[in-house]
Amino acid sequence: LGNVDPILQNNKGKNLSIAAPKVNNVLIKPGEIFSFWHLVGKCSAKKGYLNGLTINNGATSQDIGGGMCQFTNLIHWIILHTPLEIIEHHHHDMYDLFPDYGRTIPFGTGTSIMYNYLDYRFKNNTDTTYQLITYTTDTHLYGELRANKDTNLKYHIKCIDEFFSIENNIVYRDNKIIRHCIDKIAGKVIRCELIKTNHAKVMYDTSNLN
């Protein structure tokens, strides 16, 4: 995240290390709903959480338990590659807060959560049981989704039509996120879905953008 206070970054790592075991190994059986906050609960100092980076009204801030958005970002990215149905997803989609630093995931695929108000939830409408694996190391947060059955589909998420625009002397970042559903046996795209259209106000210096 560029020039974010390294103390907040380190604290985020601590916060994620506390939260990850609460989600690790959870089973999502057919018909069941996954709720991030139902599993993690409120992040409090009493539980060991520290001040971490948060986003508030289009600006960076800090609060106890900051960094949980990165956790749901990871889960969301995993779920986008499955047939599971996302039933609650919020995003900081009004603002582009940070310039790209080695971005590998398309802009506009993140999440916004707030305890007891904004959750991240998905439903298993398949006949397959899934298991979510999450854990941290000293440097990374990891996630994996397992299933008790194979699927004939695989998924590819990509960004198209990405550009910066200017409206009333304000710079915006635009793109579309699409998902290709691919038949693994035939190797052909059987469905193309528009996941999201982004038009976000850029909140950093754009004078060096090409």
Q: Give the residue, 58 or 94, on which the prediction is more confident.
A: 94
Band of the pLDDT at 100, cuts 50, 70, 90? confident
Mean per-residue pLDDT, 167-188: 94
Name the CA dihedral angle for 23, 29, 32, 38, rounded to a multiple of 10 degrees. -10
Band of the pLDDT at 129, cuts 50, 70, 90? very high
Query: Would the pLDDT of 165 be above 70?
Result: yes
> Long-range contacts made by residues 183-190, C-beta under 8 angstroms, separation at least 24?
183/152, 183/153, 184/151, 184/152, 184/153, 184/154, 185/152, 190/153
Band of the pLDDT at 73, cuts 50, 70, 90? very high
Residues 6+ apart with CB under 8 A from 56: none
User: What is the rounded distance in angstroms from the CA atom of residue 40 to the CA atom of residue 67?
Assistant: 13
User: What is the rounded distance in angstroms from the CA atom of residue 74 to the CA atom of residue 23?
Assistant: 12
Q: What angle do CA 208, 209, 210 make, to 5 degrees?
A: 115
User: What is the rounded distance in angstroms from the CA atom of residue 168 to the CA atom of residue 41?
Assistant: 42
Q: pTM for this one?
A: 0.91
Helix, strand or coil, per DSSP, at residue 45: helix
In what side-by-side order are the strands of the sheet with 153-167?
95-96, 188-202, 170-183, 153-167
N- to C-terminal Cα distance for the chain? Answer: 20
